Amino acid sequence: MELEIHPIQTGILLVLLFKPKAKYSELNTTGMSTDHFNFHVKRLLKLKLINKTKNGKYALTKKGKEFANRFDTESVVLEKQAKIGVLVIGIKKVKGKTYFLMQKRLKQPYFGYLGFVSGKVRWGETIIQAAKRELKEETNVDGNLSLVGIMHSLIYSKNHNELLEDKFFYVVKATQVKGKLTEEIEGAELNWVEKSIASNNSKVFYDFKEIMTIVNANKLRYYEYTFIVSGF
Protein backbone atom coordinates (compact mmCIF):
# COMPACT_ATOMS: atom_id res chain seq x y z
CA MET A 1 0.00 0.00 0.00
CA GLU A 2 1.25 3.46 -0.86
CA LEU A 3 2.42 5.46 2.15
CA GLU A 4 0.13 8.41 2.83
CA ILE A 5 1.31 11.51 4.65
CA HIS A 6 -0.26 14.81 5.69
CA PRO A 7 0.30 17.90 3.48
CA ILE A 8 2.29 19.52 6.32
CA GLN A 9 4.61 16.50 6.31
CA THR A 10 4.88 16.75 2.54
CA GLY A 11 6.00 20.35 2.97
CA ILE A 12 8.74 19.30 5.39
CA LEU A 13 10.04 16.71 2.94
CA LEU A 14 10.04 19.24 0.12
CA VAL A 15 12.17 21.64 2.18
CA LEU A 16 14.70 18.85 2.77
CA LEU A 17 14.57 17.79 -0.87
CA PHE A 18 16.33 21.05 -1.74
CA LYS A 19 18.46 21.37 1.41
CA PRO A 20 20.89 18.71 2.70
CA LYS A 21 20.11 19.83 6.25
CA ALA A 22 17.64 22.31 7.75
CA LYS A 23 16.86 23.85 11.12
CA TYR A 24 13.52 23.20 12.80
CA SER A 25 12.48 26.79 12.09
CA GLU A 26 13.27 26.34 8.38
CA LEU A 27 10.98 23.32 8.18
CA ASN A 28 7.97 25.18 9.57
CA THR A 29 7.22 27.22 6.46
CA THR A 30 3.54 27.72 7.41
CA GLY A 31 4.20 29.24 10.84
CA MET A 32 2.19 26.51 12.57
CA SER A 33 2.15 26.36 16.36
CA THR A 34 5.02 24.41 17.90
CA ASP A 35 2.84 21.71 19.49
CA HIS A 36 1.00 21.05 16.26
CA PHE A 37 4.12 21.11 14.12
CA ASN A 38 5.97 18.77 16.51
CA PHE A 39 3.35 16.10 15.79
CA HIS A 40 4.22 16.12 12.07
CA VAL A 41 7.99 16.13 12.66
CA LYS A 42 7.68 13.21 15.08
CA ARG A 43 5.63 11.20 12.58
CA LEU A 44 8.25 11.65 9.86
CA LEU A 45 10.91 10.57 12.37
CA LYS A 46 8.82 7.51 13.27
CA LEU A 47 8.37 6.64 9.58
CA LYS A 48 12.17 6.99 9.21
CA LEU A 49 11.76 9.48 6.38
CA ILE A 50 13.86 12.07 8.24
CA ASN A 51 16.41 12.00 11.04
CA LYS A 52 17.91 14.52 13.45
CA THR A 53 21.61 15.15 13.01
CA LYS A 54 24.19 15.68 15.77
CA ASN A 55 24.05 19.45 15.36
CA GLY A 56 20.27 19.46 15.85
CA LYS A 57 19.33 19.92 12.22
CA TYR A 58 17.07 17.64 10.20
CA ALA A 59 17.86 15.68 7.03
CA LEU A 60 16.23 13.12 4.75
CA THR A 61 17.10 9.48 5.35
CA LYS A 62 17.81 7.19 2.40
CA LYS A 63 14.19 6.06 2.60
CA GLY A 64 13.09 9.69 2.74
CA LYS A 65 15.19 10.65 -0.28
CA GLU A 66 13.63 7.89 -2.37
CA PHE A 67 10.14 8.82 -1.19
CA ALA A 68 10.50 12.61 -1.61
CA ASN A 69 12.09 12.24 -5.03
CA ARG A 70 8.74 10.96 -6.34
CA PHE A 71 6.98 14.24 -5.59
CA ASP A 72 5.80 16.53 -8.35
CA THR A 73 7.32 19.68 -6.86
CA GLU A 74 4.80 21.93 -8.62
CA SER A 75 1.59 20.18 -7.56
CA VAL A 76 3.16 18.92 -4.29
CA VAL A 77 1.73 15.42 -4.65
CA LEU A 78 3.27 12.02 -5.25
CA GLU A 79 3.55 11.16 -8.91
CA LYS A 80 1.15 8.34 -9.74
CA GLN A 81 3.13 5.57 -11.39
CA ALA A 82 2.32 2.50 -13.42
CA LYS A 83 2.22 -0.91 -11.75
CA ILE A 84 5.13 -3.26 -12.47
CA GLY A 85 4.53 -7.00 -12.35
CA VAL A 86 5.19 -10.41 -13.82
CA LEU A 87 2.77 -12.45 -15.90
CA VAL A 88 3.57 -16.17 -15.82
CA ILE A 89 2.30 -18.33 -18.69
CA GLY A 90 2.44 -21.99 -17.65
CA ILE A 91 2.34 -24.26 -20.71
CA LYS A 92 2.19 -28.01 -21.20
CA LYS A 93 1.32 -30.32 -24.10
CA VAL A 94 -0.71 -33.52 -23.72
CA LYS A 95 -1.43 -35.77 -26.74
CA GLY A 96 -0.76 -32.95 -29.18
CA LYS A 97 -2.93 -30.38 -27.38
CA THR A 98 -1.63 -27.25 -25.64
CA TYR A 99 -2.80 -26.44 -22.13
CA PHE A 100 -2.34 -23.24 -20.14
CA LEU A 101 -2.13 -22.90 -16.37
CA MET A 102 -4.91 -20.39 -15.64
CA GLN A 103 -6.81 -18.78 -12.79
CA LYS A 104 -10.53 -18.09 -12.60
CA ARG A 105 -10.85 -14.94 -10.51
CA LEU A 106 -13.27 -15.11 -7.58
CA LYS A 107 -12.78 -11.51 -6.49
CA GLN A 108 -13.13 -8.01 -7.88
CA PRO A 109 -12.16 -6.56 -10.23
CA TYR A 110 -12.86 -8.94 -13.16
CA PHE A 111 -14.86 -11.40 -11.08
CA GLY A 112 -15.29 -14.70 -12.96
CA TYR A 113 -12.67 -13.90 -15.59
CA LEU A 114 -10.05 -16.42 -16.73
CA GLY A 115 -6.43 -15.26 -16.76
CA PHE A 116 -2.81 -16.14 -16.05
CA VAL A 117 -0.78 -16.10 -12.85
CA SER A 118 0.48 -12.60 -12.11
CA GLY A 119 1.87 -10.51 -9.30
CA LYS A 120 4.00 -7.54 -8.36
CA VAL A 121 7.77 -7.45 -8.64
CA ARG A 122 9.11 -6.88 -5.14
CA TRP A 123 11.88 -4.48 -4.23
CA GLY A 124 15.26 -6.05 -5.06
CA GLU A 125 13.89 -9.03 -7.03
CA THR A 126 15.01 -10.03 -10.49
CA ILE A 127 12.22 -10.74 -12.98
CA ILE A 128 12.82 -14.49 -12.91
CA GLN A 129 12.93 -14.50 -9.10
CA ALA A 130 9.60 -12.68 -8.98
CA ALA A 131 8.05 -15.07 -11.52
CA LYS A 132 9.34 -18.13 -9.66
CA ARG A 133 8.00 -16.82 -6.35
CA GLU A 134 4.57 -15.93 -7.76
CA LEU A 135 4.25 -19.28 -9.52
CA LYS A 136 5.11 -21.18 -6.33
CA GLU A 137 2.93 -19.03 -4.05
CA GLU A 138 -0.08 -19.03 -6.35
CA THR A 139 -0.01 -22.58 -7.73
CA ASN A 140 2.53 -24.66 -5.73
CA VAL A 141 4.36 -25.69 -8.92
CA ASP A 142 7.77 -24.95 -10.43
CA GLY A 143 8.98 -24.80 -14.00
CA ASN A 144 11.68 -23.72 -16.43
CA LEU A 145 11.21 -19.95 -16.72
CA SER A 146 12.18 -17.64 -19.57
CA LEU A 147 11.39 -13.99 -20.23
CA VAL A 148 9.60 -13.71 -23.60
CA GLY A 149 8.29 -10.14 -23.69
CA ILE A 150 7.52 -6.86 -21.97
CA MET A 151 3.96 -5.57 -22.23
CA HIS A 152 2.66 -2.11 -21.35
CA SER A 153 -1.13 -1.98 -21.04
CA LEU A 154 -3.35 1.09 -20.74
CA ILE A 155 -6.83 -0.03 -19.69
CA TYR A 156 -9.75 2.37 -20.17
CA SER A 157 -13.40 2.19 -19.15
CA LYS A 158 -15.99 1.27 -21.80
CA ASN A 159 -16.75 4.88 -22.71
CA HIS A 160 -13.00 5.56 -22.92
CA ASN A 161 -13.12 8.57 -20.61
CA GLU A 162 -11.36 7.04 -17.59
CA LEU A 163 -7.98 5.35 -17.33
CA LEU A 164 -8.54 2.38 -14.98
CA GLU A 165 -5.11 0.77 -14.99
CA ASP A 166 -1.62 1.51 -16.26
CA LYS A 167 0.69 -1.47 -15.90
CA PHE A 168 3.89 -3.02 -17.20
CA PHE A 169 4.13 -6.80 -17.23
CA TYR A 170 7.25 -8.87 -17.79
CA VAL A 171 5.81 -11.88 -19.60
CA VAL A 172 7.48 -15.11 -18.48
CA LYS A 173 6.92 -18.52 -20.05
CA ALA A 174 6.96 -21.56 -17.72
CA THR A 175 7.60 -24.96 -19.32
CA GLN A 176 8.31 -28.43 -17.91
CA VAL A 177 6.03 -27.55 -15.02
CA LYS A 178 6.37 -29.87 -12.03
CA GLY A 179 4.57 -30.23 -8.72
CA LYS A 180 1.07 -30.82 -7.40
CA LEU A 181 -1.16 -27.98 -8.50
CA THR A 182 -3.11 -26.17 -5.81
CA GLU A 183 -6.64 -26.20 -7.19
CA GLU A 184 -7.92 -23.23 -5.22
CA ILE A 185 -6.42 -20.27 -3.42
CA GLU A 186 -8.07 -17.26 -1.84
CA GLY A 187 -9.84 -15.40 -4.63
CA ALA A 188 -9.14 -17.85 -7.47
CA GLU A 189 -9.59 -21.36 -8.87
CA LEU A 190 -6.64 -22.90 -10.73
CA ASN A 191 -6.68 -25.39 -13.56
CA TRP A 192 -5.03 -26.46 -16.79
CA VAL A 193 -7.19 -25.13 -19.62
CA GLU A 194 -6.95 -26.37 -23.21
CA LYS A 195 -5.94 -23.57 -25.60
CA SER A 196 -9.06 -23.63 -27.79
CA ILE A 197 -11.34 -23.58 -24.74
CA ALA A 198 -9.49 -20.62 -23.25
CA SER A 199 -9.47 -18.62 -26.48
CA ASN A 200 -13.22 -19.11 -27.00
CA ASN A 201 -14.24 -18.37 -23.42
CA SER A 202 -16.44 -15.26 -23.27
CA LYS A 203 -14.85 -14.32 -19.96
CA VAL A 204 -11.19 -14.79 -20.83
CA PHE A 205 -9.14 -11.70 -20.03
CA TYR A 206 -9.17 -8.92 -22.62
CA ASP A 207 -5.45 -9.32 -23.41
CA PHE A 208 -5.42 -13.09 -24.12
CA LYS A 209 -4.75 -12.77 -27.88
CA GLU A 210 -2.00 -10.22 -27.31
CA ILE A 211 -0.34 -12.47 -24.74
CA MET A 212 -0.46 -15.35 -27.23
CA THR A 213 1.35 -13.14 -29.74
CA ILE A 214 4.07 -12.45 -27.19
CA VAL A 215 4.43 -16.09 -26.11
CA ASN A 216 4.64 -17.31 -29.72
CA ALA A 217 7.16 -14.68 -30.87
CA ASN A 218 10.65 -15.86 -31.74
CA LYS A 219 12.47 -13.08 -29.88
CA LEU A 220 12.16 -10.84 -26.84
CA ARG A 221 10.22 -7.68 -27.74
CA TYR A 222 8.43 -4.74 -26.15
CA TYR A 223 4.67 -4.43 -26.76
CA GLU A 224 2.30 -1.58 -25.97
CA TYR A 225 -1.48 -1.91 -26.05
CA THR A 226 -4.59 0.10 -25.25
CA PHE A 227 -7.64 -1.83 -24.06
CA ILE A 228 -11.24 -0.78 -23.48
CA VAL A 229 -12.98 -2.99 -20.89
CA SER A 230 -16.42 -3.39 -19.37
CA GLY A 231 -15.78 -6.07 -16.73
CA PHE A 232 -13.73 -3.98 -14.31
What is the spatial distance between Cα 28 and Cα 33, in angstroms, rounded to a whole number? 9
Nearest residue to 230 (alpha-carbon basis) of 80, 83, 112: 112
Q: Is the peptide bond before 109 cis (omega within 30 degrees of 0)?
A: yes
Tell me the pLDDT tens digit for each residue of 24-56.
999 998 888 999 999 999 999 999 999 999 899
Eight-class DSSP state of 79: P
Using an 8 Å Cβ cutoff, are 147 and 220 in contact? yes
Q: Is the pLDDT of residue 142 over 80?
A: yes
β-strands 188-194, 117-120: how paired?
Answer: unpaired
Taking 60 as the threshold, does the pLDDT of residue 1 lie above it?
no
Would you state the pLDDT for residue 58? 95
Q: For residue 232, what pLDDT is reported?
A: 57
- Each residue of 184-219: pLDDT tens digit? 788 889 999 999 999 999 899 999 999 999 999 989
Report which residue type is found at 119.
G
**Does residue 79 register a pLDDT over 80?**
no
pLDDT at residue 6 tops 90? no
Instruction: Measure the CA angle with vertex 223, ends 136 and 91; round to 5°.
Output: 35
Domain boundaries, the chain: 7-78, 83-229
Mean pLDDT value across the chain:
90
pTM of the model: 0.72
Alpha-helical (H) ranges within the chain are 7-17, 24-27, 34-46, 62-68, 127-139, 195-199, 208-216
CATH class entry, domain 83-229: alpha beta
What architecture (CATH level 2) is domain 7-78?
Answer: Orthogonal Bundle (1.10)
Write the pLDDT tens digit of every residue in 92-101: 999 999 999 9
DSSP structural state of residue 125: -
Q: Do domains 7-78 and 83-229 have the same CATH topology?
A: no
Residue 21 backbone phi and psi in degrees, to 5: -145, 150
